[in-house]
Structure 1
């Protein structure tokens, strides 16, 4: 291991006394310091698990066992039953085949293997809270997980329900509720891609307001940039390029922008016909992890109790819509700077 690698490992694994944080060690890594088996899971489906790659690489390089999972939008029923580890958990490896052309988990597993990294990606079908929690519980017990980090490509997982627009909350908040019900020493939420959800109507002044409220309550673990020249950023950009090649008809708009941001790109950086006619605003804020305590974030969600007893995705959607029909949303504000 090189001296640089030793330095990285020390920064990640240094202990934190009395639960306090220091500028020397990012709170995200301080919180994960006691963990030996970390599950990094994409909360919102699709390519969300890719948002966890820079973090996973940093932890792998520090000697931490990291496992990857994702709420999947793929047709998992097309995968042979031999790959199903449990009723709602598919164990995707580089050899796992699917007739579905949209299979981010498979593309990621093959890329990981090609880069000599742990190459299993666990996939969950879209579910309600109760069944998704069962799936997480299975992995926690099987893999002896002591820390879960939900990752979101974007920021709509940080919304509590009374914002002017919730973006696409169904999968994110289902994942949040599912993991909130697990008894684990460390549970975090980390979002990468600040500003991207403006495309779905999210007002990011409200996101910042929510982070400030969590900070006052002790639930905000700060912001951490993925450095352009880092190994983590280089591998992430390569993985995103590989995923774009694997799904040319539907490349990830979210991760295309984040990957561009990690390389110093700025402004209307177009990389797919999917965004033609929609000006993009790629900028350095997209390359920053914003991390919060999962339980404290869940406690602030105004409708989490509404979806607690759901079994299917449609139930979650219906109950969120019913909640929104009752609430008086905040008046959106313009970012003043």
Structure 2
């Protein structure tokens, strides 16, 4: 049994030598895992970074591909592309003298995504995988009134659920940010409680700005906002605002003009889970198991939603 002063997530990773930190939902999700990845690096672990990508990777040169649907992105990859979060992160890592390769996983269905993960795990002899969601829609089991944007997140969960061997964990950071996409965070809390009862919840911890990792995360988000000014990450901008101690409608990009944000300290918390326990609670995971394209994942979720009775939102009392 873990002692209170030792967080269960880090206890689970203590014996791991080589750890993969992977963004589950595309876009800038890997940035949401950066504080954790840096902390593990500072502990002397070998850490590989990967992200299910929204970037245009189809035209990358042959030497960028290490396996089907898996490419290595470096600071100099595809310099002509204005939107490339994996390359932007690789550039920031190089500026700070960290290993500067970020792996891009193609936006594909569960079967090819699992094969790409297997290739990555075998290539680096990975002992543990931490799947990261910037937001909370990875915690939706499928019958909630609003799911957010679950396709990529749950394709990633399903892909890793079928791989045995490494320790597999999930972390979510950015509590509240998915309200914009219709997620009821009252239902998120209910789901976390159910995962606790099932023994799959590993607790939560914050990313303070006074820590080395917190300060570096803030610097990385500013760097990314500067280099992707036309399409900065709303999720990581909100998390960074929370880490800085901002509150309420803390606007930081014109992309949220006309929307009222609710930046709050809970956005700076990592919630940690066992991946198998999370996968077992997803009501449609079996329906996306044999998908090869992301649009098949979307169609399977839509078909499930047409059949299921939805749980109404839960209001968090004032």
Pair 1:105 & 2:86 matched: yes
CA distance in structure 2 between the partners assigned to 1:165 and 1:296 by the alignment: 21
Question: What is the match of residue 274 of structure 1?
Answer: 255
**Match for residue 152 of structure 1?**
133
What is the aligned counterpart of 2:43 among 35, 58, 62? 62
Matched, 1:139 2:125: no
| Structure-2-length-normalised TM-score | 0.99
State the secondary structure of the residue aligned to 1:76.
coil
By how many angstroms is 1:78 displaced?
Answer: 2.8
**Structure 1: distance between partners of 2:62 and 2:249:** 44
Q: Work out the CA distance in 2 between the residues paired with 1:225 and 1:319.
A: 35
Cα deviation, residue 240, structure 1: 0.7
Structure 2 match to 1:182: 163
Q: Secondary structure at the match of 2:3?
A: coil
Q: 1:178 and 1:333 mapped to 2: Cα distance?
A: 30
Aligned to 1:252: 233
Alignment match, 2:12: 31
Counterpart contact for 2:174–2:269, Cα < 8 Å: yes
Q: Please give the secondary structure, in 2, of the residue aligned with 1:109.
A: helix
Q: Is the 8 A contact 2:174 2:268 kept in 1?
A: yes
Say yes or no: does 1:75 pair with 2:31: no
Please give the alpha-carbon distance, in whole angstroms, between the structure 2 residues aligned to 1:183 and 1:98. Answer: 37
CA contact (8 A) 1:214 1:297 kept: yes
Provide the residue aligned with 1:10 in structure 2.
none
Query: Is the 1:78–1:99 contact (alpha carbons within 8 Å) kept by the matching residues of 2?
Result: no
Please report how far the alpha carbon of residue 167 of structure 1 lies from its aligned counterpart in structure 2 after TM superposition: 0.3
User: What is the rounded CA distance, in whole Å, between the counterparts of 2:136 and 2:79 in structure 1?
Assistant: 30
Q: Distance in 1 between matches of 2:166 and 2:29?
A: 23
Q: Does 1:312 align with 2:293?
A: yes
How many Å apart are 1:218 and its aligned residue?
Answer: 0.7
Partner of 1:213: 194
**Which segments of 5 or more consecutive residues in structure 1 lack a partner in the other structure?**
1-19
Point out where structure 2 has 5 or more consecutive residues left out of the alignment: none
Cα pair 2:126 2:166 within 8 Å, conserved: no
In structure 1, the partner of 2:282 is: 301
Cα distance, 1:184 vs. partner?
A: 2.3
How far apart in 1 are the matches of 2:40 and 2:166?
17
Report the counterpart of residue 336 of structure 1 in structure 2: 317
SS at 2:236 equivalent = helix
Partner of 1:264: 245
Structure 2: distance between partners of 1:216 and 1:21: 17
Query: Which residue is equivalent to 2:206?
Result: 225
TM-aligned CA deviation for residue 99 of structure 1: 3.2
1:78, 1:100 within 8 Å by CA — same for their partners in 2?
A: no
How much has 1:98 moved relative to structure 2?
4.5
